Amino acid sequence: LMACAFEKDMAGKKVLVTAGPTQERIDPVRYITNHSTGRMGYSIAKICALRGAEVTLVTGQTALEPPLFVDVVPVVSARDMYEAVVERSVEMDVIIKAAAVADYRPAVTSDEKIKKSDGDMAIDMERTDDILGYLGSCKKPGQFLCGFSMETQNMLENSRAKLRKKNLDMIVANNLKVKGAGFGTDTNVVTIITADMEKELELMSKDEVAARLLDEILARI
Q: Which of 41, 67, 147, 182 binds ligand CTP (CB under 6 A)?
A: 147
Give which of 19, 2, 101, 98 is closest to 64, Cα–Cα. 19
CA-CA distance, 152 to 126, in Å (whole number)? 23
Nearer to ligand CTP, 47 or 170 (CB): 170
**Among the residue ranges 36-44, 57-65, 100-108, 181-189, the one whose residues contact Ca ion (CB under 5 A):** 100-108
Residue 167 a catalytic site member: no
Nearer to ligand CTP, 114 or 201 (CB): 201
Residues contacting 70, CB < 8 A, separation 6+:
45, 46, 48, 49, 55, 56, 57
Q: Which residue numbers belong to the known binding site for CTP?
A: 103, 113, 148, 162, 166
Does 149 help bind ligand CTP (rule: CB under 6 A)?
Answer: yes
CB 72 within 8 A of CB 66: yes
Q: Environment class of residue 74 by beta-carbon count within 10 Å: exposed (0-12), middle (13-18) or buried (19+)?
A: middle
Does 157 help bind ligand CTP (rule: CB under 6 A)?
Answer: no
Q: Could you give the residue numbers annotated as active site?
A: 34
What is the binding site for ligand CTP (CB under 6 A)?
78, 97, 99, 101, 103, 128, 130-132, 147-150, 162
